[in-house]
Every structure is written in C-alpha cells, then in structure tokens.
Structure 1
Amino acid sequence: MVFAHFIVGNTRPYTVQDWAKDIALATSKGIDAFALNVGRDDYEASRVADAYTAASGTNFKLFLSFDMTSLPCSGAGDAYRLRDYITRYATHPSQLRYGAKILASTFGGEYCSFGTGNLNQGWQNAIKSGLPPVHFVPAFFLDPASFSGIPVMDGALNWNSAWPQGNYDTNFGPDNEYISHLGGRSYMAAFSPWFFTHYGPDTYNKNFIFRCDNWHFSRRWEDLVENRDSVAFVEALTWNDFGESHYLGPVHGDLSRSDDWTADYDHQGWLDLLQYYIQAYKTGVYPTVSKDKVFLWSRLAPAAANAPDRIGKPDHWEWTQDFLWVVVLLTAPAEVQVTCGPSVEEMSLPEGVGKLQVPLRQDCSPSVTIFRGGLSTLRFSPDGFNFRTNPRNYNFNAYVASS
C-alpha cells in the first residue's frame, strides 16, 4: 500500500469539499490513504472529522499519524487525545486497517513516556491498553538497533529514508538497516520528491536543503520497486507540507508562511510520474506506456548565486548542482532532445522510462522534443519555466512541469 502524509495543521480553511477533491485526486494517482498528521491545535479535530466525512462512500482510507513534536506526552493525561482519536474512528468504514488492526503512526515520539518513565510502557498505555487492536508503526528517530527492545512497535516508518542525509545520491542502505532490526515487523519506507525550507529566526528558524539531484524522484522509487518484497508500505512525504517544499498536491489551504518559495511553484506535474511508479511498486511490473509523457524539474537559479535575501542561503546549498532533470515515458523507442539556452542533450532511448539532464549555465527556458523517424512527435516548452542567474531571493524549491 502507498500513503501520502497529510499535514492537518495546514487545513484550517478546508471544507469537506476540499477534502473530497484531494481524496479524488490522490485516488486517481494510486494512493491508498492519507496519513493524517495531527497536532495540538484545537481546529485539527474538526478537520479530521471532515476528512473522514469526505472519505465516506469511497474506497480511500485514512489513518492517524500523531505529531509528537506538537502533542505533549510527558504525563499520563497526555494520552487522552491520542486515545480519543483512535476510539472515535475505530469503527469508521474509512479507517485504514492492517489485517484486523487499526493502523496508527507518528512523527517523532521517541522521547515520550506518558508518565511511566519508560518509552515502551508509555506507548503501550497510550495507544494499546484498553483500546481496539492497533498496528503501531511510528517514526521514532532512534538507532534501529534499539527496536528489538521496543515491542510496542509493530513496525517502523523510516522518515529520513526519503532523502539522502548527506552529499550523496539516494540508496537503499538506510532501508536495509531498519529492515534488519525489525525482525519481520512491518517496514514503512518513505519517499519524497524534494526538500527546501527557508524560515528565518523570527519564525521557525530552519533554512536548509536535502540533496535531491540525479533524478532523486525516480531513483528512490526504482529502489523501492526493486526491493518491494521487503517494503510493506510506502509513505509519500508529503501531500501538503509547503514549508518544506515536498508537497505533491495542490498549493491550497494554509501555506505556513511559505509563500515566498511556493507561490507559482505547483508540483502536480509530478503526479503522473508518481502514478507510474506506484503501479510498478504494487505489481512488480513497470506499466506499459500508452502515451508519450515528459516531466522536467529544476531550481530556477544557480545554487551559488547571491540574492538580496535577509535570511541567507540555505545550509547545504553547495550539495546541489545546476541541472535540469528530465524524465520521459515513451510508448516506443525514440530520439529525445533537451535544450536550455546553449545546453543541448540528445539521446536514443528505449520504450519505457528514460532520463536526461542538461546543465543550466545562463538565462534560459527549457524545451524537450521527441523524434521518431526524423519527425517530431512531441515538443514541450512549458510556460513560466525560466532559469535566471540573478535571483531576487534564495528559492531552492523545484519548479515542475509535465506535458
């Protein structure tokens, strides 16, 4: 199964109809459920109720992912909110179950004891004792070697497997480390297309990137497809975390003060590529391509460029390269040409998925052309996709387009 992490804290203005639109869109791309990230804000309970209402009568499922960076968990009474959520939706037809058990997850919580002085006992009391059966797959930021001593965990979400944690390409090593220490319990891998956040000290005070070069989107999924027998679930990070630039859904709702780097940066161009890989992960076979399709993304300014931005360059800016990343889905072998200003790349590619890149060295707007038999069968030059060498701010978000 494939889930998308959904930040309920960004849905203050949402209606049931807004939820219904997101659910319909996610369903159409092969996503099975939203993991509802819930925190301490009072309005979130009402938005969760709206989500379950919107999912009623569909095959789409929901489950709770408790954000323990927001929810308190030091005292026994702090468990009440978690237990209330689980009880409230335990019998709802849209509640996701794994086997006969309610699926529940977290973001963080490895420091929680709920008044017991013990991580395992605290979580046992909070979400299992006296409740309907729960299949608990948290994202605890711990050395996976410690998992054998935490039997309350029925599995683990490896949150940071979504991105390389240094200046290197994605690989399956962090996944294997989790799998080896889970002893057969459920492994939930993470996928994310991008990461950039740009908050100053006056707000959330986080300003950094993770490296997502070399077609990270595709390579992460290709690792997951290759190792699908070891991966019970994949959670896409995220549907709507605009502040960290890894949203896959529409830019809608509360943008968490991210307007400076998310306005006009729609990521929905990735969704058809996501659907392609989800089908391959679920079936073990890459789907036949029925229509030629082009996907391209990049930053819109050089990583080393200077800008009049009071927040400053994001940490790790030097980890990323100035390239346009291109993925094509081809119905048959073809010649593919990518241009951006003086940069040109031409390749003969087979049927299926292919990857190209061109360096971005000066102001330019990209174009991709597919040729067969010397004739152009598709030309894609997306509007608004303009690489500029003199940026007005440090925006390391991905600009995404698809044909």
Structure 2
Amino acid sequence: MVGNTHPYTVDDWIENISLAYRHEIDAFALNVGPEGWQKQSVDNCFQAARLSGLPFKLFLSFDMNAIPGQVEDDVLLLRSYFEAFARHSHQLRYNGKPVVSTFAGQQCLFGCADLDAAWTHVKRTLEDVAPIHFIPSFFIDPRRYPHIHSMDGYFNWNGGWPIHLTPDSPRRDVELPELDTDRHHIHHLGGRTFMAAVSPWFFTHYGENSWNKNWIYRGDDWLYVRRWEQLVAARDTVDIVQIVSWNDFGESHYIGPIKGAQPKSESWVDGFPHTAWLHLTRSFARAFKTGTYPTVERDEIYMWARPHLKHADATHDEAGRPEKWQLTDDKFWVVVLATAPAEVRLATSDLEGEAAAERSYPVREGLTKLSHPLVARESMKATMIRDGRVVAECAPERAGFRVQARPRTYNFNAFVATSIPSI
C-alpha cells in the first residue's frame, strides 16, 4: 500500500525490499491512489530496487476505488505512472510484457459503453508506451470473463478468505470452511493468467466518521497455512501468488513490519506484530516455486490470537462491534515445525508455577496444526519437548500479550508470535 509509505525514504524502501526478498518474496505489487506524492514514493521504491542489488521486481496496481475512472481523460493518470516506470529494469514482466493490475475497476467506464470497451481504451493508451500484461481484480461474475477481451488474466483478490460465510452459516466445528473459489475463475479464464491471493487475516474498524469499514472475514483455522498448502498443491494451475498484504495496516492483514504511516488504524495495529507470519511465508513460497517443501532444519512454533473474546463488551468504542464478529472462534492457533517427533504442550497462562488448562499433543516431523481455547485474563503458551528437553517455546505473555476481559475498544486483529529469538 503506497498510501501507507508517506514517510518512507529510499533507505526505508531498501530495508523493506531486502526483508521481503530474504523471505522468498519476488516482487511488490504497488497499490497506488490519486495523491500526487504517491508517484514520488513509487519512484523511490524503483530506485531502492536498483540500489539493493537484488533481482527484486515491482509492478503497478491501480486502486480504482480511489482513482477516478469516469471520463476518457481519467486514463492520463494511469498513463503517467506507466510512462515513468514501464521500462525500468526492475519492472515485473510476464510473457515479456510489463505487468499492470488493479484493485477493483469494474465500475470505471472511462466514458465508454461497457467494461470491456473501457479497459480496452485504458490498455491501448498504456500500450502507446509499451505492451502490457493486464491482470486486474474486477469484482464481477467470472462467467463474464470470456467476453472481456482486454484482460490478459485475473487476480482473485477475494480468494484469500472464506468470504461466503455468514453469521448464520452452519456450525464450523465439524469441517473447515472451504477456500474454493479459484477453480471457478480458472475455468472461465480459458487459459489466461491466473493470480491467486493468500492472506493471513482481515479486520478493519473504521467508524462512520471516517471510512465506515467495520467488519471481519474469518481468519481462523490456520488460514494462512491452509491457503498456502492449497496453492502449493494447485501450483500447476496457479501462475502467480499475491500475498495480501505487506503493509495494509487498516485491514490487519500485513505481514511486514509496522512501519510508515497508518490510516488511523493505530488503535488496533500498534503492539500487534505480524512478522512471524512473514518468516512462516518462506517455506511455503519456496514450495510453490519449486514444488518441494524445504526440510525443517530448526524446531519452531508459531501462534496467534485476538486480544479479547468475541463476546467481550468494549467500554469506549464509537465504531461498535465489527460486522461478522460471530464468524470467529475463541481459540489461539498454533503451527509447529518439528525436526523430529516431539510433544507439544499448550496452555493459557505463563505465570510462575501455574499453567492453566494445559493440554499435550504428540507431533510428527514436519508441520502440525494445533489450537487451544482462549481464556480471559490469561495468555497463551506452547512448549515443544523431545527426550525430556525443551527444544522450542513460545510465551507471548512475556511480551505483554494477555486476553482482555473488558477491552476499551474492539480489536479483532491478531497478535502473532514465534519461538524464534530473532527474525
């Protein structure tokens, strides 16, 4: 989200690019809006990619919920961006052409009669500069794809979450919600490029006095891991994976560091690190690219949870409880990477001499997914034991995390922790 990078210098961009590259991320999709300063930030990003010395790529994703697209000349902003960066050595190319994407845009007709005519106009205008490979994220029925010839592919942004769930959906403790929309898009694309989404979470909490966005998508059931496993298994039919997101703090699905500007989201973001998810990304991204999961070389524990129970009443929250809050479960979620079989003990407290509601689970070599009930006023803890010796431990209470009984404001963001001392 370039809109969250207002304070960034070139050095800040280099730091982010280097961090992403170390975790097997190959490119940034640069979501840009209409503000003039964003173009300078994009320029800084391209400079940073060159100065980093890394083979890291970048491409533009026009945020058409913010950028005007009603009259023919609205295309000139998109062209000005493309003219500035299309020929850059760090521009991502697919089939030899610069990649261009969007967030939304199905409502933007640029003075034309229909969607395909509108984006054919955009595409022709950009191709006055250079040929493009256009992979938008239009929120439309996939059955329309065969009639939209301007698209070279499609980005299934909504595919990262089980968004078809409603608060009235059947109980979810029998089977996990399916993440099953990709096949429908791929079928109707007819061989064109398919970009899939993977995302760890979703919570946004803006009241009526700002952006009026206040809801969750279900991020339970080890969502990030399950979705990655699905994409690795389907790698023969998925061309590109986009992680949503690196730094969209307002929607709580960031995996990068909390850095830069925030869109009035401090109350549910500050103090809630997600970089453990970034570290977890490395093995899945490598598996997607190579077809083989890397060997687990170190015992590791990852875990995450909300800071209060879903029925908790906030004492001072003008925005109110988020929509779809009923979709989540009062659990903390644990992913174990073990070098050999071991025992993992989960508990809700880390007080000296006390471990409330402790449960023990055998785990195999490799990856195991576990969960444990959340308890108000307590925390979460996981310990991996092998041959009577602790080989990994994750105790977020030591970093100040505890499940609140009466939160001041609603916060359905996740606190994400890992046993790794430094990431």
Q: Calculate the TM-score normalised by the size of structure 1.
A: 0.96
Residues 1:143 and 2:141 are matched in the alignment: yes
Deviation at 1:286, TM superposition (A): 1.4
- Where 1:277 maps in the other structure, the secondary structure is helix
Whichever residue aligns with residue 147 of structure 2, its letter is: G
Give the equivalent residue in structure 1 for 2:402.
386
Higher alpha-carbon deviation: 157-166 or 334-343 = 334-343
- Where 1:338 maps in the other structure, the secondary structure is strand
After superposition, residues 135-214 of structure 1 pair within 5 angstroms as 135-165=133-163, 166-167=165-166, 169-214=176-221
Decide which of 329, 344, 348 is 1:340's aligned counterpart: 348
Distance 1:361 1:92 in 2: 52
Give the equivalent residue in structure 2 for 1:287.
294
- Where 1:343 maps in the other structure, the secondary structure is coil
Deviation at 1:127, TM superposition (A): 2.6
Deviation at 1:113, TM superposition (A): 2.0
After superposition, residues 251-266 of structure 1 pair within 5 angstroms as 251-266=258-273
- Where 1:173 maps in the other structure, the secondary structure is coil
Give the equivalent residue in structure 2 for 1:354.
368
Decide which of 310, 314, 330 is 2:318's aligned counterpart: 310
Number of matched pairs: 397
Decide which of 131, 134, 137 is 2:132's aligned counterpart: 134
For the Cα contact (< 8 Å) 2:202–2:413, is it kept in 1? yes
Distance 1:362 1:13 in 2: 38
Structure 2 gaps of 5+ residues are: 167-171, 350-355
Deviation at 1:258, TM superposition (A): 0.3
Distance 1:296 1:347 in 2: 15
Distance 2:299 2:76 in 1: 52
Distance 1:46 1:26 in 2: 21
**Alpha-carbon displacement from aligned partner over 1:11-67 (angstroms, at most 9, x marks no partner):** 111111111100000000011100000110110110010000000132100000000
Give the equivalent residue in structure 2 for 1:44.
38
Query: How much identity, in percent, do the aligned residues show?
Result: 45
Give the equivalent residue in structure 2 for 1:396.
412
- Where 1:109 maps in the other structure, the secondary structure is coil
The Cα RMSD (Å) is 1.2
Give the equivalent residue in structure 2 for 1:3.
none
Deviation at 1:170, TM superposition (A): 4.7
Give the equivalent residue in structure 2 for 1:60.
56
Give the equivalent residue in structure 1 for 2:12.
18
Give the equivalent residue in structure 2 for 1:123.
119
Give the equivalent residue in structure 1 for 2:169.
none
- Where 1:45 maps in the other structure, the secondary structure is helix
Structure 1 gaps of 5+ residues are: 1-6
Whichever residue aligns with residue 69 of structure 1, its letter is: N
Higher alpha-carbon deviation: 162-171 or 294-303 = 162-171
Give the equivalent residue in structure 2 for 1:87.
83
For the Cα contact (< 8 Å) 2:302–2:394, is it kept in 1? no
